[in-house]
A and B are shown apart, each in its own frame.
Chain A
Amino acid sequence: EPEVTQTPSHQVTQMGQEVILRCVPISNHLYFYWYRQILGQKVEFLVSFYNNEISEKSEIFDDQFSVERPDGSNFTLKIRSTKLEDSAMYFCASSEVSGNTIYFGEGSWLTVV
């Protein structure tokens, strides 16, 4: 069964460093998403991406965050200068059409120290 894959599974970084989280969405999907889950808390929407541009973003997704689809398969989330409060599980997701089922990857644990 097709799946969303994410790398790395776990990354530890120093505060102020840049981090790039990578995702390979399901191949025929057109909508891509990033969510995050701070330990023990709810899953929060960060950004959605369609047709090579951001279609929606939340208040969390400030200027420190960016997304990119550098080629036909990868979808990346960049955090420019990490803060302690960025420590969370980051989930990539994709869907075939808007409003349809969204499939999630296994997540990337980011620990900022």
Chain B
Amino acid sequence: GDSVTQMEGPVTLSEEAFLTINCTYTATGYPSLFWYVQYPGEGLQLLLKATKADDKGSNKGFEATYRKETTSFHLEKGSVQVSDSAVYFCALSATSYDKVIFGPGTSLSVIP
């Protein structure tokens, strides 16, 4: 079945470091891809999305490009801040069904 794999955490970075969180997926057809973020003690917020191959989603300095050839949707940010400390979930959704499938999440801690 469809699935999402993410790099294992936790990831600890110094402020202003470059961030990459790898995400790969397995799906039939052409899913939509998402990154959700969960700040400590809060719910899930949509961070960015891409709905077709080569689309780039971006928000709050984060970017991810839908790469069909490598079935990937890696999350990047050029300079992280302490306030970016959270758990990041890669996810997919297909038009053949109406649910979102989540990856296991990657915990990010940014230290001053």
Residues in chain A within 8 A of chain B (CB atoms)? 31, 33, 41-45, 48, 50, 55-56, 89, 91, 93, 95, 98-107
Contacts and interface: CB of A to CB of B under 8 A. Distances in A.
How big is chain B's contact interface, by range? 20 to 34
A22 to B, nearest CB: 15
B44 A91 contact: yes
Contacts, number: 61
Interface of B: 32, 34, 36, 42-46, 49, 89, 93-105
A50 B42 contact: no
A31 B89 contact: no
A91 B95 CA distance: 21
Nearest 3 interchain pairs by C-beta: A99-B95, A106-B43, A98-B98
B46 to A, nearest CB: 6
A41 B95 CA distance: 26
